[in-house]
Structure 1
Amino acid sequence: MKTARTRTVSRILATALMASALTGCSLMELTRDCDGTEARVREVGALGILDSRPDRATVTRGAEEDAPHCFADSGDVVVSTTRTYAFPGTRAEVAAHYRAAARQDGWRPDPEAEPGELSFAKGDMYLWVDFMSTGYGLTVVSYE
């Protein structure tokens, strides 16, 4: 004979399994983590586009976020890295440089980029160029 507590737990589990089946979401996906992404972290950190820069651009030192890393959040596993450059020139110079360098390296303009956003895609990776008052930053993201 089932107790009320057992029936309640059974209903909760059945509801969770039904919801995951109906939404296409697996409970296992929600527990994904960065195990096994070490090679991908190294690969993303070694991308040549990260070291490409216009003349007069200099690497900014000391930023901890520059190291390639993996993070997992709500089942999404993301490998990411950034590079930050100081640059005395214009945004137009930076944009022209990365449009040419990205194309040469096999990146294509991101079809889902917002107007005015400088964004590229290559396979399952995305490259963003973000402007700051003293330069710009590159961010590469790979969704695993």
Structure 2
Amino acid sequence: MAPRPETGRYGRCAALLLSLITATGALTGCDLLDAALDRGCEDSKSRIEEAESYSILGSHPEGAIVPKGFEDIDSGCWADSGDAWVYANQIYVFPGDRGDKTDVTEYYREAAKRDGWKLFGAYDPAGSGNRAKPGEPADLCFTLGKEDKSTILNVAFGSGDELTLSEERKPGTEFSSGHGYRVTIDSTADGSPNGCPD
């Protein structure tokens, strides 16, 4: 039988240190993970301000209103998927019988084109992925093409609950009839290429 190697004081210290690190990691792992994921949002203020500056966020068809409590553009940076993204968005609603989704779709197709955006695709709001024909209501996605490969514009329909899901605010009575939609500018925080989903 071979003699057992002597671990000595260094071996016990290493084992104790490893146990301490493991326990600390287990107790604070979520905080460390959150901090690691947020690192991509550092120094993103100028990119957020750039996203907020797009005039199309304040543009809407006649009859659309900004719901009470949503007057300010919602903007920020999030990195919970591992990649950091900056965003700026504005929610609108057509209360009652004013306007319809087709009017909204056509309005943003034209407004975005005037501002240099290129329509990537129009999607069935039901999520089937079918491209909608001109004159039909659809969620929209635009890019700026060669001028800016990191920024996209989305116009998406949804209920008050769907549109305000990530917000701390609750949808108001304006959402109880009619329909709502969100205009969003999304961009990678580091300026790397981004695109509309297929």
TM-score of the superposed pair, with normalisation by structure 1: 0.70
Contact 1:32 1:75 in 2 (8 A): no
Distance 1:66 1:53 in 2: 14
Contact 1:32 1:76 in 2 (8 A): no
| Aligned counterparts of 1:74 and 1:134: Cα–Cα separation in 2 | 30
TM-score when normalising by structure 2:
0.53
Long gaps (5+) in structure 1:
10-28
- Taking only the aligned residue pairs, the percentage that are identical comes to 34
2:141 equivalent to 1:131: no
Question: Over aligned residues, Cα RMSD in angstroms?
Answer: 2.9
Residues 137 and 103 (structure 1), Cα distance of their counterparts in 2 relative to 1, 3 Å cut: same
1:143 and 1:36 mapped to 2: Cα distance?
Answer: 13
| Structure 1, 115-124 or 98-107: larger mean CA deviation | 115-124
Q: Which has the larger Rg?
A: 2
* Alignment partner of 1:36 is 2:43: yes
Deviations 1:68-119 (A, max 9, x none): 1011124301001211111121111001110000011111112596434311
Moved over 3 A (4+): 29-32, 63-66, 111-114
Counterpart in the other structure of 1:82: 89
CA distance in 1, matches of 2:81, 2:106: 37
Q: How many residues align?
A: 123
Report which of the two has the higher share of strand: 1
Deviation at 1:39? Answer: 0.7
Closer, same or farther: CA 31–93 of 1 in aligned 2, 3 Å:
closer
Say which of 135, 140, 143 aligns to 2:185: 140
Match runs of 1:1-144 below 5 Å: 32-63=39-70, 66-87=73-94, 88-110=98-120, 114-115=129-130, 116=132, 117-122=139-144, 123=148, 124-132=150-158, 133-144=178-189
